[in-house]
Amino acid sequence: MLTCEDKKLIQAVWEKVAGCQEEVGGETLERMFVTYPQTKTYFPHFDLHHGSDQIRCHGKKVVGALGTAVKNLDNLSQALSELSNLHAYNLRVDPPCFVLQLLAQCFQVVLAAHLGKDYTPEKHAAVDKFMSAVAAVLAEKYR
């Protein structure tokens, strides 16, 4: 469960990311495709080369959605309801928590690389909990 302290830490991290969502998003996806090639199977229609416009745009979308989640930490289920439907019925990213965990790992690596020492253990823990909560909501409608 996200405590009050967790929520404050998540928001603090988000403030640092707000100005470079496209960059953070693009880098997260690129790292995911390079580190976990099996994730490319969900994007057969994308140009997956380094610097691809599609990766950058999609990365921006993903981080935008996470931003929505950050603004609605008290009501993740409702805030992510549409995306939950999308992932369950259309995208069928499988198995849900496992693959989203790979994205979460890469996202945290990008945050750590950007924030350095400022990505404290406390922020790390809060963001890790947040990403698990998001993954759980996205997986809600799977069956």
Q: Which is nearer to other proteins, 88 or 97 (CB)?
A: 97
User: Which residue in 19, 44, 51, 116 binds other proteins (CB under 8 A)?
Assistant: 116
- Helix (H) / strand (E) element for 135: namely helix 121-139
CB of 108 within 8 A of CB of 127? yes
* Smallest separation, CB 46 to other proteins (Å): 16
Which residue in the block uniquely carries the two structure tokens 């960059």?
A: 23
The residue range among 67-75, 89-97, 100-108, 133-141 that interacts with other proteins, by the rule CB under 8 A, is 100-108
Q: How is residue 116 written in tokens?
A: 């350095």
- Residues 7-36, one symbol each (x = binds other proteins by CB under 8 A, - = not), give --------------------x--xx--xxx
User: Which residue in 62, 69, 76, 110 binds other proteins (CB under 8 A)?
Assistant: 110
Residues 6+ apart with CB under 8 A from 142: 88, 96
Burial of 95 (0-12, 13-18, 19+ CB in 10 A): exposed
Q: Which is nearer to other proteins, 44 or 116 (CB)?
A: 116
Residue 62 within binding range of other proteins, rule CB under 8 A:
no
